[in-house]
Amino acid sequence: MIAGVVFLSACGGESTASEPVRSATIALTRWRTGVGDSVRVTVTGTTAGGAASNATASIVVEPARVAVLRNGWLVARDTGAALVTATLGTLVVRTTFGVVPPSAFPLELRQGVGPELPPAVAAQLPAVVARWREVIVGAEPTARVAPDEWPASERCGFRSATAVQTDGAILAVVVDRLDGRGRGIAAAVPCRTRTRADRPGVATSAGLVVLDSADLRDFLALRDSVRFEILLHEVGHALGFGVFWDDDVVRFTPPLVQSLPTPSYAGPRALAVWNRMTTTGTRPLRMQSTFAHWDEATVGDELMSPLTESRAEPFSALSVQAMADLGYVVASGGLDPWRPPLDGIVSTSVRPHVARSGGDAVLHDFILPPGWRTERVAIPAR
């Protein structure tokens, strides 16, 4: 049993120490993580008058084998479930926290060339990394990432960096001009890739995530959970979702996508998930016409659909197994519950949180390195 003290966060007006705490909640930046990763703990309380409490909470984490509390962070030590208990005088609140096996897929999101990332964005990058590492656990073979050795026009947003070997991916995150205000809020693309000689497969070694400077104020005004899902979505594109399905990158036999009679997905692992979930017989797993996303009307509010929704977007087995179709090694657990809309009809309760175009955005004046593409490219946009 590990105990600690966490200051309650403000959630209302001023309060005095003599006011009793009426209610409290425990918030974790994520409710599940991998062994070795950390999750921030925040306890929020209100007084009987509805003001923010300035009391402190005593936090207990059990069992210590699974997780420990260090400086307001839950540090995952072993697989299993941990009970997090916060005590404020006579008031006790509890929540649970899950730890999954560690990932063998190194993934790094780093500040790229340009303005410093806003603190709200930088603070979410570790959680984005941890979430992807829960579902992708490997990618072969090892690759060399050497931004210092690349021509200046091909550095993919990276600041000066020495060459490193990686079994995963290193992604630069930048704020730059995309397509103007009110369209794509962000975009992402792989820059360096690696393939296998013994079987079809492709993985990102280095990539780029771009937040549109014209939409940055709107992006920062979004709820933390929505901003997190957009970043999670863009990392998916940087790792190859909706990009590597093009035969110009690597030839899969049979192809992962088909144009006729309608744009649809044909990769065996994701398609098997789809066929198990559909209740009206086998029907196409439709895609956006550019093949960058799932079709919104077909999958509804799934993470890799083109529109950001006001409610949670599940990171489902559908998208995870699409990454497996590319050649990534994926976990069997750690997925969000999700079901496709009945007969492909999206509920009328689904509303885009941000009105953005569902098409592609062009990252102006960006040239991909030789060996992948050497011309201005269309980038899957949110």
Instruction: Go through the domains of the chain in sequence order and give each one's CATH number.
Output: 2-100 (2.60.40.1930), 107-380 (no CATH)
Q: Strand, helix or coil at 202?
A: strand
Tell how far CA 268 is from the center of its chain: 23
Token pair, residue 149, equals: 């050795």
Is 29 within 8 Å of 127 (Cβ atoms)? yes
Strands (E) across 122-236 are located at 136-138, 143-145, 164-166, 169-176, 186-195, 202-212
Q: With CA atoms as reference, report the closest residue to 170 among 135, 132, 198.
A: 132
**CA atoms 362, 352, 298, 237: torsion sign:** positive
Q: Which of 199-213, 220-234, 304-318 has the lowest mean pLDDT?
A: 304-318
Mean pLDDT score, 95-114: 85
Is 352 within 8 Å of 309 (Cβ atoms)? yes
pLDDT at 54: 55
pLDDT at 233: 93
pLDDT at 368: 34
Neighbour tally for 350: CB within 10 Å: 15
Is 147 within 8 Å of 160 (Cβ atoms)? yes
Residue 202 carries which side chain, given as an amino acid letter? Answer: V
How far apart, in Å, are the Cα atoms of 164 and each of 130, 190, 191? 21, 17, 15
Dihedral (Cα; 160, 163, 164, 167), 10-degree rounding: 100
In this model, does residue 120 exceed pLDDT 60?
A: yes
The share of the chain scoring above pLDDT 90, in percent, equals 16
**CA atoms 188, 189, 194, 195: torsion sign:** positive
266 contact partners, CB below 8 Å, separation of at least 6: 254, 255, 256, 257, 258
Is 142 within 8 Å of 167 (Cβ atoms)? yes
Return left, alpha or beta for 297; rule: phi > 0 is left, psi -120 to 50 is alpha, else beta. alpha
Tell how far CA 322 is from the center of its chain: 15
pLDDT tens sequence across 156-202: 888 766 677 778 888 999 998 887 777 778 889 888 888 766 667 78
Q: What is the mean pLDDT of the chain?
A: 75
pLDDT tens sequence across 28-44: 877 777 787 778 888 88
Mean pLDDT score, 108-126: 91
The torsion angles phi and psi of 163, rounded to 5 degrees, stand at: -65, 140
pLDDT at 369: 35
pLDDT at 341: 78
Q: Return the CA Rg of the chain.
A: 22
Per-residue pLDDT band for 216 (boundaries 50, 70, 90) equals very high
179 contact partners, CB below 8 Å, separation of at least 6: 212, 214, 361, 362, 381
In this model, does residue 274 exceed pLDDT 70?
A: yes
Task: Tokens 């069992």: give the residue.
Answer: 63
The share of the chain scoring above pLDDT 70, in percent, equals 75
Neighbour tally for 339: CB within 10 Å: 13
Model pTM score? 0.72
